[in-house]
Amino acid sequence: MQSLILAGGKGTRLRPLTIHTPKPVVPIANRPFLLYQIDLLKRAGIREITLSLSYQPGKIEEILANGEDYGVHIRYAVEASPLGTAGAYKNAQDHLSRTTVVLNGDVFTNLDLAAVIAFHREKKAAATVVLTPVENPSAYGLVETEPDGRVRRFLEKPKPEEITCNTINAGIYVLEPRLLDYIPAGETFSFEYQLFPAILAAGEPFYAWTWEGYWLDIGAPARYLQAHYDLLGGRLASVTVEPPPPPAGGDDRPRVDGLSVIDPSCTLKPGVEIVNSVLGPNCFIDERARIEDSVLWAGTRVGQASTVRRSVICKSGIIGRNSVVEGAVLGDKSSLTDYSIV
Burial letters 192-223, b for 16+ CB under 10 A, else e: bebbbeebbeeebebbbbebeebbbbbbbbeb
Q: Are 315 and 303 in contact (CB under 8 A)?
A: no
Q: Is 157 a catalytic residue?
A: yes
Burial letters 88-104, b for 16+ CB under 10 A, else e: bbbbbeebbeebbbbbb
Amino acid at residue number 94? D
Kindly write down the DSSP assignment for every residue of 320-332, as one continuous string: -TT-EEES-EE-T
CA distance 308 to 286: 12
CA distance 41 to 10: 23
**SS3 category, 339:** coil
Active-site residue (options: 23, 124, 157, 315): 157
CA distance 205 to 283: 52
CA distance 301 to 316: 7
CA distance 197 to 179: 12
CA distance 243 to 289: 21
Q: Which residues are registered as beta bridge partners of 208?
A: 129
Q: Which of 205, 15, 38, 27 minimizes the C-alpha distance to 122? A: 205
Among all residues, which ones are annotated catalytic?
157
